[in-house]
Amino acid sequence: MFEYAPAPESRSVVDLKPSYGLFIDGAFVDPTDGGSFKSINPASEEVLAEIAEAGAQDVERAVRAARTAYDKVWGPMPGRDRAKYLYRIARLIQERSRELAVLESLDNGKPIRESRDVDLPLVAAHFFYYAGWADKLEHAGFGPNPRPIGVAAQVIPWNFPLLMLAWKIAPALAAGNTVVLKPAETTPLTALLFAEICQQADLPAGVVNIVTGAGDTGRALVEHPGVDKVAFTGSTEVGRAIARSVAGTSKKLTLELGGKAANIVFDDAPIDQAVEGIVNGIFFNQGHVCCAGSRLLVQENVADRVLESLKRRMAQLRVGDPLDKNTDVGAINSAAQLERIRELSDAGSAEGAERWSPPCELPEQGFWFAPTIFTGVTQAHRIAREEIFGPVLSVLTFRTPAEAVEKANNTPYGLSAGIWTDKGSRILWMADRLRAGVVWANTFNKFDPTSPFGGYKESGYGREGGRHGLEGYLNV
Partner 1 sequence: MSERVAVRKTYKLFIGGKFPRSESGRSYLVQSSNVSLASRKDARDAVVAARAAVKGWAGATAYNRGQILYRAAEMLEGRREQFVALGIPGDEVDAAVDRWVWYAGWADKLAQVYGGANPVAGPYFNISAPEPTGVVAVVAPERPALLGLVSVIAPAIVTGNTVVVAASPSEPLAAVTLAEVLATSDLPGGVVNILTGAITETAPALAAHMDVNAIDLTGVTDASLATELEVKAAENLKRVLRPAPAGHDWSGDPGVTRMTALLETKTVWHPKGV
Q: Interface with partner 1 by CB under 8 A: which residues? A: 125, 141, 143, 236, 239-240, 243-244, 247-248, 250, 255, 257, 412, 427, 431, 436-443, 446, 448, 450-454, 456-458, 460-461, 463, 466-468, 471, 476
Residue 447: CB minimum distance to partner 1, A: 9
Decide whether 326 or 451 has the Cβ nearer to partner 1. Answer: 451
SS3 445: coil
Name the residue nearer to partner 1 (CB basis): 212 or 254.
254
Handedness of CA 298, 301, 305, 307 (dihedral sign): positive
Contacts of 248 (CB under 8 A, 6+ apart): none
Report the alpha-carbon distance of residue 117 to residue 133 in Å, rounded.
25
Give bridge partners of residue 356 from the DSSP assignment: 373
Q: Which is nearer to partner 1, 381 or 468 (CB)?
A: 468
State the minimum distance, in angstroms, from the CB of residue 142 to partner 1: 9
The residue among 357 and 443 lying less far from partner 1, judged by its C-beta, is 443
Residue 336, φ and ψ in degrees, nearest 5: -65, -40
Cβ nearer to partner 1, comparing 76 with 248:
248
Smallest distance from partner 1 to CB 235, Å: 12
Q: Residue 415 Cβ, how far from partner 1 at the closest point, in Å?
A: 11
DSSP state of 328: S
Q: Is 290 a catalytic residue?
A: yes
Q: How far is the CB of 240 from partner 1 (least distance, A)?
A: 5
198 is catalytic: no
Of 198, 290, 291, 360, the active-site residue reads 290
DSSP secondary structure string for all residues of 370-416: --EEEES--TTSHHHHS---SSEEEEEEESSHHHHHHHHT-SS--SE
Query: Comparing C-alpha atoms, which of 133, 154, 174, 163 is closest to residue 448?
Result: 163
194 burial type by CB count under 10 A (0-12 exposed, 13-18 middle, 19+ buried) = buried
Would you please indicate which residues are annotated as catalytic (active-site) residues? 256, 290
